[in-house]
Chains A and B, each alone.
Chain A
Amino acid sequence: MSKIGVFICHCGENISATVDVERVAREIGGMEGVAHAIDYKYMCSDPGQTFIKEAVKKYGLDGVVVGACSPRMHEPTFRRACAEAGLNPYLCEMANLREHCSWVHEKSEETTEKAIDLVKMMVEKVKKNKPLDSIKVPVTKRALVIGGGIAGIQASLDIANTGHKVILVERDPSIGGHMSQLSETFPTLDCSQCILTPRMVEVAQHPNIKLYTYAELESLEGFIGNFKAKIRLKAKSVNYSTCTGCGACIQKCPVKKIPSEFNAGLGTRTAIYVPFPQAVPNKPVIDRVNCNYYKRGACKICEKTCQVGSIEWDKEDEIITEEVGAVVLATGFDVKGTDFFPEYGYGQYKDVLTGLQFERLASASGPTFGEIRRPSDGAIPKKIVFIACAGSRDPAKGIPYCSKICCMYTAKHAMLYQHKVHDGESTVFYMDIRAGGKNYEEFVRRAIEEDTVNYVRGRVARVYEKNGKLIVKGVDTLLGGEQVEIEADMVVLATAGVANCGSEQLAQKLHVSYDPYHFFAEAHPKLKPVETNTAGIFLAGACQAPKDIPETVGMASGAAVKVAALFSNDELVREPVVAVVNRLAPPLYSTCVGCFMCETACPYNAIEHEEIKGRDGSLIRTIARVNQGLCQGCGTCVAFCRSKSIDIQGYTNEQVYAEVMSLLND
């Protein structure tokens, strides 16, 4: 017969105010198989733990039940105490008398009876518990960082500086992300390129960082500490080991009218191109969709130009495999285009721009070399209207959230405009000014007070073109809803920040969750902002939600620390709450019939095939086996197995059955 020890906690008054704890201890003490039952004010305190340890030794307990708070809170505490007393920690269970009972019920007879039932269930369960060992898995101390914006750059550098290897995968021909497109940055107005470029170069030169540009993740298998990443290296058509980056080919390429992604469509580029002068790596790729040779089979001018023979026509995409122990997702965000706005012209008016396009106009490396000029006719706009919250905070357009960065960059844009066009007039239509951040409010006030930007509270209903002007129909709600009509030369929409294209597919490849807007979901909104719900995969930057550079960098460093902490272990210890397929002595081997229903059911691909072989090596049977590193203990397989051969350790059918029966046997 079992010898179970039961310890009922008062939790100060949290439990004892509504539950008659003494009666609970008394009645449980009378249960079959219970050797010792007491109640105490704080079981988690040092004396409380000592009671448990001493009882284990004194009564030779083979099971412990603590009736107290949530196991989330103190299960590790009590299991550690048991282990110290020489009892296998998995023979210790908790009954949650606080969250599940005293906090949610009034003081009454029934409340105490419910508490008794809860403890009883655990006693019956513990009787069936088996000693378990935690699982140990080795750690590959190399990180994969996906996305080479400022988030990916920062995370890579921080991890690399702890001495660990990093593989950085960037989809575009250069790293840098959106920050490389920005002119000057709020709230200090320092030049974005100037502060970013040194970091980009550092990435390229860091001995611990292996950079793959023009590359994308193909698939990710494995589990924390032990991932296998397949990476597609898209064919660049240029041999980077011989190319000197001289740029001669780019000069000569006859296909010159391709809208430049870097300039947000405001400038053009060639078919063989480097996205921008400070690109890292500073070597070209051929855009095969637009190249004359790939399209029509003739041209090859670049090949003739290249002195070192670096053009490679027949290169195909290459898939490589890298083993890594942790992944940092840093794929950033995107912004809505002007075509998203029926009321602002469906993108058909050339002088209606997105904020990102305005950054390119204001940038010294942009298509106008930093002069604010209208795309339609090159004129300097004398009247400019900025529309905040364009698409954001707009449930009707499917984007109810605030994009967070646009209040600030709109103030910056208006300020830059006033600095560059002294006789210009700028108006910002806004709903609220969200300038929470160090020196942010002061920055906005400066735009209003010193740079005389005209802030009007109200949304704009319509923008249309007439005689080369853009008619903006807005409103001033602070004047009781007075209509405001402005004949502007340029309109800039602070368009909503949205998840990057392909983020949904990427999330599915990695088994990480994403929110309804396809931003990756953090594991806990407050306490685990850089973790995902998949162990070993972390988040950095705007791929989780729109955010500015300081926040992005902070988050990237946070993710890097998480990776470093993970890599400080040679082995990882995991709870043994995983599925097992039963094994029996030959000739049965297992009740598993090899139907592999569990394999189809398992969402984590944890089911493997195990071949049972005779002494002569001949195959006897194939049965299921659980990869304990992959298994998350969800239990789906258990429900699917018809021969009842698979079970979750610590939550076996037998244990759960015993719990339920303890209620029915009353």
Chain B
Amino acid sequence: MRCYQCGKCTAGCVLASDMNYPPSYLMRLLQTGTRQNMDKVLASNSIWLCLNCENCLGRCPMEIDIPKMMDYLRTQAIKENKLHPDSKPIIAFHRSFLDSVRNTGRLYEIGLVLSYKFRTFNFLQDLAIAPSMYLKGKLHLLPEKIKDRRSMKRIFAQTIENAKTVNK
């Protein structure tokens, strides 16, 4: 790996201070190539907090694609089942999101939030803004569905379900 530890990625990362290891430190851990450090990386919250905002990539002198690396590390962490507690709500959200897309072809926001709440048992969250969202016409009570929903089933079956990375 070409990273020369200049730290510019960390200097500009909006969530570096919330991460167990800021991005440049993470790169160094990976660079050592040891299993021990890889485990540290996979079990860290850094990979889950990364927003893929690409501030780091945009400024890295060595053009190191940290966000892409994070994509890989997340997949790997799920595969090896080494998940930092911070990953729970994030994964739950993504799964609920994808469930909605799988079933309707589009995002059904009420469905998403309900399913998310069941996954996280966090029933109180966002209760405060839901009514005004409804009043402002921002929530559909019924999901919008695309016609060719079979294609959605097929796409999901051949990709994410095929990869068996998502075990509910």
Q: Do chains A and B touch in the complex (CB under 8 A)?
A: yes
- Contacting B at CB under 8 A, from A454-508, are 457-462, 473-477, 480-484
- Residue from the list A459, A480, A482, A484 in contact with B8, Cβ < 8 A: A459
- Residue from the list B4, B16, B61 in contact with A483, Cβ < 8 A: B16
Whether, in the assembled complex, B120 has its beta carbon less than 8 Å from a beta carbon of chain A, the answer is no
CB distance from B4 to the nearest CB of A (A): 7
Q: How far, in whole Å, are A480 and B22 apart by their CA atoms in the complex? A: 8
Once the chains bind, are A481 and B22 in contact (CB under 8 Å)? yes
Once the chains bind, are A477 and B10 in contact (CB under 8 Å)? yes
Within 8 Å CB of A421, what residues of B? none
Once the chains bind, are B61 and A477 in contact (CB under 8 Å)? no
Within 8 Å CB of A480, what residues of B? 21-22, 25
Residue of A nearest to B62 (CB): A395
Contacts known (A461-B55, A461-B59, A481-B25); A473 close to B12, Cβ less than 8 A: yes
Once the chains bind, are A461 and B11 in contact (CB under 8 Å)? yes
Contacts known (A431-B4, A475-B24, A477-B5); A483 close to B10, Cβ less than 8 A: yes
Within 8 Å CB of B49, what residues of A? none
- Contacting A at CB under 8 A, from B131-153, are none
Whether, in the assembled complex, B60 has its beta carbon less than 8 Å from a beta carbon of chain A, the answer is yes
Contacts known (A475-B10, A475-B11, A483-B16); A459 close to B25, Cβ less than 8 A: no
Residue of A nearest to B16 (CB): A483
Please encode chain B, from 7 to 44, with 1 for each CB lying within 8 Å of some chain A CB and 0 for all others: 11111100011000111110000000000000000000
In addition to A393-B61, A394-B61, A481-B16, 8 A-B residue pairs with Cβ atoms within 8 Å of each other are A393-B4, A475-B7, A477-B5, A477-B6, A480-B22, A480-B25, A483-B11, A484-B11
- Residue from the list A395, A474, A476, A481 in contact with B61, Cβ < 8 A: A395
Whether, in the assembled complex, A397 has its beta carbon less than 8 Å from a beta carbon of chain B, the answer is yes
Contacts known (A394-B61, A481-B16); A462 close to B25, Cβ less than 8 A: no
Whether, in the assembled complex, A527 has its beta carbon less than 8 Å from a beta carbon of chain B, the answer is no
Whether, in the assembled complex, A396 has its beta carbon less than 8 Å from a beta carbon of chain B, the answer is yes
Whether, in the assembled complex, B63 has its beta carbon less than 8 Å from a beta carbon of chain A, the answer is yes
Within 8 Å CB of A389, what residues of B? 6
Once the chains bind, are A343 and B59 in contact (CB under 8 Å)? yes
Once the chains bind, are A397 and B7 in contact (CB under 8 Å)? no
Within 8 Å CB of A395, what residues of B? 61-63
Interchain residue pairs with CB less than 8 A apart (27): A343-B12, A389-B6, A393-B61, A394-B61, A396-B62, A458-B8, A459-B7, A459-B61, A460-B11, A461-B9, A461-B10, A461-B11, A462-B11, A475-B10, A475-B11, A475-B24, A477-B10, A480-B25, A481-B7, A481-B10, A481-B16, A481-B22, A481-B23, A482-B22, A483-B17, A483-B22, A484-B11
Residue of B nearest to A393 (CB): B61
Q: How far, in whole Å, are A396 and B63 apart by their CA atoms in the complex? A: 6
Within 8 Å CB of B12, what residues of A? 343, 461-462, 473
- Contacting B at CB under 8 A, from A387-406, are 389, 393-397
Once the chains bind, are B8 and A475 in contact (CB under 8 Å)? yes
CB distance from A534 to the nearest CB of B (A): 35
Q: How far, in whole Å, are A63 and B47 apart by their CA atoms in the complex? A: 75
Residue of B nearest to A474 (CB): B11
Within 8 Å CB of B25, what residues of A? 480-481
Within 8 Å CB of A483, what residues of B? 10-11, 16-17, 22
Q: How far, in whole Å, are A460 and B11 apart by their CA atoms in the complex? A: 6
CB distance from B5 to the nearest CB of A (A): 6
- Contacting B at CB under 8 A, from A418-452, are 431
Once the chains bind, are A481 and B21 in contact (CB under 8 Å)? yes
Q: How far, in whole Å, are A457 and B6 apart by their CA atoms in the complex? A: 8
Q: How far, in whole Å, are A473 and B9 apart by their CA atoms in the complex? A: 11
Most buried by B among A394, A396, A460, A481: A481
Q: How far, in whole Å, are A461 and B17 apart by their CA atoms in the complex? A: 15
CB distance from B39 to the nearest CB of A (A): 18
Residue of B nearest to A399 (CB): B61
Within 8 Å CB of A476, what residues of B? 7
Contacts known (A481-B21, A481-B22, A483-B16); A459 close to B63, Cβ less than 8 A: no
Residue of A nearest to B22 (CB): A481
Q: How far, in whole Å, are A590 and B83 apart by their CA atoms in the complex? A: 86
Once the chains bind, are A396 and B61 in contact (CB under 8 Å)? yes
Q: How far, in whole Å, are A483 and B12 apart by their CA atoms in the complex? A: 8
Residue of B nearest to A477 (CB): B7
Most buried by A among B25, B55, B61: B61
CB distance from B29 to the nearest CB of A (A): 11
CB distance from B23 to the nearest CB of A (A): 8
Residue of A nearest to B57 (CB): A396
Once the chains bind, are A481 and B24 in contact (CB under 8 Å)? yes
Within 8 Å CB of B24, what residues of A? 475, 477, 481
Q: How far, in whole Å, are A484 and B25 apart by their CA atoms in the complex? A: 15
Once the chains bind, are B63 and A458 in contact (CB under 8 Å)? no
Within 8 Å CB of B7, what residues of A? 457-459, 474-477, 481
Within 8 Å CB of B55, what residues of A? 461
Once the chains bind, are B11 and A458 in contact (CB under 8 Å)? yes
Once the chains bind, are A397 and B61 in contact (CB under 8 Å)? yes
Q: How far, in whole Å, are A165 and B108 apart by their CA atoms in the complex? A: 86
Once the chains bind, are A396 and B60 in contact (CB under 8 Å)? yes
Within 8 Å CB of A397, what residues of B? 61
Within 8 Å CB of A343, what residues of B? 12, 59
Q: How far, in whole Å, are A636 and B10 apart by their CA atoms in the complex? A: 55
Q: Which 6 residue pairs are nearest across A and B when measured between Cβ atoms? A: A461-B12, A461-B11, A481-B22, A458-B7, A459-B8, A475-B11
Q: How far, in whole Å, are A343 and B7 apart by their CA atoms in the complex? A: 15
Most buried by A among B59, B60, B63: B59
Q: How far, in whole Å, are A221 and B3 apart by their CA atoms in the complex? A: 48
Once the chains bind, are B6 and A431 in contact (CB under 8 Å)? yes
Q: How far, in whole Å, are A350 and B6 apart by their CA atoms in the complex? A: 26
Once the chains bind, are B11 and A473 in contact (CB under 8 Å)? yes
- Residue from the list A459, A462, A482 in contact with B6, Cβ < 8 A: A459
Q: How far, in whole Å, are A397 and B22 apart by their CA atoms in the complex? A: 24
Residue of A nearest to B12 (CB): A461
- Contacting B at CB under 8 A, from A289-324, are none
Q: How far, in whole Å, are A397 and B60 apart by their CA atoms in the complex? A: 10
Residue of B nearest to A480 (CB): B25
Q: How far, in whole Å, are A173 and B22 apart by their CA atoms in the complex? A: 52
Please encode chain A, from 347 to 390, with 1 for each CB lying within 8 Å of some chain B CB and 0 for all others: 00000000000000000000000000000000000000000010
- Contacting A at CB under 8 A, from B58-74, are 59-63
Please encode chain A, from 598 to 626, with 1 for each CB lying within 8 Å of some chain B CB and 0 for all others: 00000000000000000000000000000
Q: How far, in whole Å, are A250 and B151 apart by their CA atoms in the complex? A: 80
- Contacting B at CB under 8 A, from A330-345, are 343
Within 8 Å CB of A482, what residues of B? 22
CB distance from A452 to the nearest CB of B (A): 23
Within 8 Å CB of A481, what residues of B? 7, 10, 16, 21-25
Within 8 Å CB of B21, what residues of A? 480-481
